[in-house]
Every structure is written in C-alpha cells, then in structure tokens.
Structure 1
Amino acid sequence: MTAEERLADRRERLILAAYTLFANPGFHATTIERLCATARISNRAFYECFSGREALMRAVYDRCVEETLQSIIKAIDQAPPNLDARIVAGITEYVRFVTADERRARIMHLEVRRAGDVLSGARQRAVTEFTKIIESSVGDLPVQLPSELHLLALALIGAITELLIEWVVSDHPPSTEVIIKSAVHVFRRSFSR
C-alpha cells in the first residue's frame, strides 16, 4: 500500500472501532488507547489521522448522518407525490434506518450530546440538513403550508429526536412501530388545517 492508502486504512479502522466503542461503553468511557488497541494501530498513528477523540467522534457522527440523509431522501423520492405519503415514507425510513443498528441510534441521539460543546456545530449542521429535507419534501406540493415552515420542521425534528432518545435509554423501549406511529401522528397533526 502507498502511504496515502495506509493512512486511509488506519483512519477507516479507527472510525469502525469508534462506531462500536463510542456507542458502548460510550464517548467519555472510551480512551484513545482503547480505540487504538481495537483498531490495531499505534497511538502515534492515531494522531496522524485525527487531532483527538472529538475529531474522531465528529467523523463517526457525520458518517451516520450522511448515510441516514441518503436513505431518507431515497425513500421520500420513491414515495407518491402527496404530503401523507412523503410523511410516512420519510419517518418510517428514518426510524428504521437509525434503529437498524443500535450503535447508530446511540451515537446520533445520545453520545453526540454527551460529547459536549465540541460537537454542537456538527449536530447543528445535521439538524439543518434534516430541516431542509422536510421543507423541500413538502414545499413542492400543492398544499397550504404553515407560514413558519422552518420553525415547524425544527419542532418536528425535536419530537423525533426525543422519541429515539427514549428508544435508546429506556429499560423497556417502545417498539419502532410505535415510534413511527407516534411521529407520523405528530407530523400529520402539524400539517393539518
């Protein structure tokens, strides 16, 4: 392998190790030494790839968000061109995709908050991207939309986020079907006139 290929390989191994370890035992409980042992690289090699744990967490979180965005956009694009179909398709895909791997759900909805202020910018960028999906998914439909669509989209993202946090932290988590049903209800009521 070339030097660039070796660096890319180490970076990918660290991201994969962090994906598991940041989900469990969690961001704060995971040391750089443990990440390096799991990825089978030296501590020195870690710093050739990332400036610290926060930068690695940002890379893992950004990947989770990007994969989720792609999945949701595809589902909405394949849905019939009406408001209800797009609501159901988008929410169903979001909840199913995020919960298909508990590590993804924990990183996106719990550990990113536990990481603190250093990741608030990454989290805000993700919220902005999800808001744009809601706005663009309903904005081209021949329906009367709320005057403050942007604020409504933010509120709806908050509702889904809290439902998924409950799924992650609860000793007896609700089924994903119940989460989907609850979120669809909130979205439908929010867009009803």
Structure 2
Amino acid sequence: MTAEQRLADRRERLMTAAYTLYAKPGFTSTTIERLCSEARISNRAFYECFGGREELLQALHERCVEESLAVVAKALQEAPDTLDGRVKAGIRAYIEFATADWRRARIMHVEVRRSGDVLTLSRQRAVEAFARLIQDAAEDFPKTSALNRRLLALGVIGALQELLIEWLLSDDRPDIEELVAVAVHIFTRGLGPA
C-alpha cells in the first residue's frame, strides 16, 4: 500500500472502532488509547488521522448524516407525488435507516447531545439540511397552513429525534411501525392546515 492508502486504511479503522465505542460506552467514556487498541493502530498513527477524539466524532457524525440524507432524498424522489406520500416515504426511510443499526441512531440522537459543544455546529448543519429537505419536499404543494414552514420543519425534526431517543433508551422499545405512524401523524398535522 502507498502511504496515502495506509492513512486511509487507518482512518477507516478508527471510524469503525469509534462507530461502536462512541455508541457504547459513549463518547465521553472512550479514550484515544481504547480507540487505537480497537483499531489496532498506535497512538501516533491516531494523530496522523485525526486531531483528537472530537474531530473523529465529528467525522463519524457527518458520515451518518450524509448517509441518512441520501437515503431520505432517494425515498422522497421515488415517493408518490403527493404531500402525504412524500411525508410517509421520507419518515419511513429515515426511521428504518436510523434503527437498522442502533449505533448509528445512538450517535446521531444521543451522543450528539452528550458530547457537549463538540458537535454543536455539526448538529446544527444536520438539522438545517433536514429542514431544507422537508421544505423542498413540501414546496410543490399549496401552503395549507399560515405557519412558517421552516419553523414547522424544525419542530417536526425535534419530535422525530425525541421518538428515536425513546426507541433507543426505553426498556420496552416501541415498534418501528408505531414510530413511523406517530411521526407521520405529527408531520402531517404540522404541515397541514393550522
């Protein structure tokens, strides 16, 4: 392997290790030494890839967000050309993608909050990207509510995040179909008549 390929391989091994360790035991409990041990690299090699644990967490969060946005955008593109069809397709795609791997859901919805200021900007960019996606999906349809669609989008994103946190942390996890149904109800009411 070339030096560039070795660096990319180490970086990917660290991302894989962080994907599991940052999800459990969590970002604040995961040391660089533990990440390096899991990735089978030296501490020195870690700093060739990332400036610190925070930078690794940000890279991992941004990857999860990008993958989620791509999945939801594809679902919206393939959805029936109705507001209801787009809402259902987008929500189902996001919830199924997020819950397909609890580590992804945990990093995006729990560790993002527990990391303190580390992911504040990254989290805000993600929320803004999802809000734009929602607004764009609703743009083709008549505005039936006098309320600001951007603020509605932000509100329903917050509701969806709380539903996923409940799914992650509850001893008696709600069924995925139930999550989808509740989220669709909230989105439909939020984007519908005031």
Verify same fold: TM over 0.5: yes
**Structure 1 SS opposite 2:29:** coil
- Aligned-pair identity (%): 59
CA drift of 1:143 comes to 4.8
Match of 1:63 in 2: 63
CA drift of 1:175 comes to 1.1
Contact 2:102–2:168 (CA under 8 A) maintained in structure 1: yes
Distance 1:192 1:176 in 2: 24
CA drift of 1:37 comes to 0.6
Distance 1:10 1:146 in 2: 52
Matched, 1:192 2:192: yes
Deviations 1:28-80 (A, max 9, x none): 11110010011010000000100110000001100000000000000010001
Deviations 1:171-192 (A, max 9, x none): 1111111111100011111122
Deviations 1:78-135 (A, max 9, x none): 0011100000000011100000000000000001111111210000000000000000
Contact 1:32–1:43 (CA under 8 A) maintained in structure 2: yes
- Name whichever of 156-165 and 138-147 sits farther off: 138-147
Q: AA paired with 2:22?
A: F
Match of 1:159 in 2: 159
Contact 1:135–1:150 (CA under 8 A) maintained in structure 2: yes
Match of 2:109 in 1: 109
Matched, 1:30 2:30: yes
Match of 1:141 in 2: 141
Q: AA paired with 2:101?
A: D
Distance 1:132 1:26 in 2: 30
**Structure 2 SS opposite 1:141:** coil
Match of 2:96 in 1: 96
**Structure 1 SS opposite 2:97:** helix
Distance 1:103 1:62 in 2: 14
> How does the TM-score come out when normalised to structure 2?
0.97
Contact 1:81–1:141 (CA under 8 A) maintained in structure 2: no
Q: AA paired with 1:189?
A: R
Q: How does 1:108-127 map to 2 (within 5 A)?
A: 108-127=108-127
Q: Figure out how many residues of one structure are paired with residues of the other and give that number.
A: 193
Contact 1:146–1:191 (CA under 8 A) maintained in structure 2: no
Q: How does 1:175-186 map to 2 (within 5 A)?
A: 175-186=175-186
Give the unaligned 5+ runs of structure 2: none
Match of 2:50 in 1: 50
Matched, 1:80 2:84: no
**Structure 2 SS opposite 1:144:** coil
CA drift of 1:153 comes to 0.3
> How does the TM-score come out when normalised to structure 1?
0.97
CA drift of 1:147 comes to 4.0
Q: CA RMSD in A?
A: 1.0
Q: AA paired with 2:53?
A: R
Distance 1:98 1:104 in 2: 6
